[in-house]
A and B are shown apart, each in its own frame.
Chain A
Amino acid sequence: GAVVSQHPSWVICKSGTSVKIECRSLDFQATTMFWYRQFPKQSLMLMATSNEGSKATYEQGVEKDKFLINHASLTLSTLTVTSAHPEDSSFYICSASGGQGFQYEQYFGPGTRLTVT
């Protein structure tokens, strides 16, 4: 099946610094990638949708200047949390679309745990 990876799997950073999270589709070309955030005991919340070569579309309430998304190739999307604060600590999950089976089926990555101290 289609595989999506994320790097790093966990990261700890100091308040005020920026952190970049990578999402890669390993065996298919992902025309669209999605970024989600999940707080403890809560459901996944969609943050943004990115299409290769285009600007990301952010969900209402998500600060686009704080969560920078780049989708420069068909296999890689990055999420940069700028000037991170403790309230940004969360589990970030990406998904990629454009693989096997249904053309638009989403395949999820394993997630990245961000802790801001």
Chain B
Amino acid sequence: LAKTTQPISMDSYEGQEVNITCSHNNIATNDYITWYQQFPSQGPRFIIQGYKTKVTNEVASLFIPADRKSSTLSLPRVSLSDTAVYYCLVVTYSSASKIIFGSGTRLSIRP
């Protein structure tokens, strides 16, 4: 299982773009990079997933360089409601394999 490393915490302000970087040096060929968001006392919520280059959906973008050893979650124009913990995960889809959560990044948005 590929281990991920991301900053423990980040602060930003409303309306700013926030970029959270995650390193996953031993990512394997079958692995996908997945980001989850978790609010207190709630289960994790899927944000975005990618394999390489750039993926964008209605809430975020995910940038993955060619070597795939890192990835960056980009949240455009954050609001107070984006205050949460964000987890970067490396997931293997060759089987129903387990996910190991790292420490996550605690993002605090200020007015």
Contacts and interface: CB of A to CB of B under 8 A. Distances in A.
Interface stretch (B13-21, B61-69, B73-81, B99-107): B99-107
Contact of A46 (B96, B99, B104): B99
B43 A102 contact: no
B98 A102 contact: no
Contacts, number: 55
Kindly name the residue among B32, B45, B46 whose own CB sees the greatest number of chain A CB atoms within 10 A.
B46
A82 B36 CA distance: 31
Contact of A110 (B36, B43, B91, B104): B43
Given A91-B41, A111-B43, A97 B96 contact: yes
**Interface band, chain B:** 20 to 34
A31 B42 contact: no
Given A31-B96, A104-B93, A104-B96, A44 B45 contact: no
Nearest to B38: A44
Interface on chain A toward B: helix, strand, loop, or mixed SS? strand
Interface in A61-93: 91, 93
Interface of A: 4, 6, 31-32, 34, 36, 43-46, 49, 51, 91, 93, 95, 97-98, 102-111, 113
B99 A43 contact: no
B108 to A, nearest CB: 13
Contact of A109 (B43, B93, B96): B43
